[in-house]
Structure 1
Amino acid sequence: DYVESVLLDERLSLNINVIYDFLVTYFPKVAPQVLSDNTCQLMETLVNTLGKTLPTTDLTTAAYKLNGELRALSLVYSVELPVVPPPDLLAILNKLQARILEETEESPNKKR
């Protein structure tokens, strides 16, 4: 129940390294019980929402939430079960990486 709760409702807690490290170790053991249709559907919804909102998201203010969601996705899609990520996940992650690089390479004067 705890693992499912974290994935469904408490993804921000994945930013706490102790919790994330615990789940990296423990999640593969309980994945068959946790990865219900509801959980898998939520992960797919996260990917779709990320893809739709990425162009307008202020990465600076959304970084904490975004990191928790990306960690949840990495947990779910790292297990050896037949959980297939949405086909556009890689393209969305590449766009996110490009946005992050673009924003971090801007000089402080340009950001003002």
Structure 2
Amino acid sequence: MKIGEIAKAAGVSTSRIRFYERQGIIPPADRGANGYRDYPKTLITLLQFIEQAQGLGFTLREIGDVEMQGGDHIVSCTDALALLARKRETVIALIAEAQNRKRRIEALMAELEANRKAQAVVAQ
């Protein structure tokens, strides 16, 4: 399949496919006699997997480290569950960090608001 056909079927841009290829995330395409890239239809599933994984917060490095297998299931269920569990722990830690940051911001805002009101009273 040509790059445009693969891109449309997978719901990604042609530039993204070329980027993934340069980064080694997907295997390089075979080249026809005319020099055009010729991708296997099975690449559609892999591209959709990559897009889904990125949507869940996985980096390209993390995706590239996954042991891929052929067919409709790019990753075994056991491996996928382990990867998702680790990513969930990362997200939980990020949420806790963000909540702590939010509390510190709100405390500083309250302190500054109190200072502003105190200065306004003194100025009267």
TM class, shorter-length: 0.3 to 0.5
Query: Which structure has the higher relative contact order (CA within 8 Å, separation 6+)?
Result: 1
Q: Which has the higher helix share?
A: 1
Q: TM-score, normalized by length of structure 2?
A: 0.31
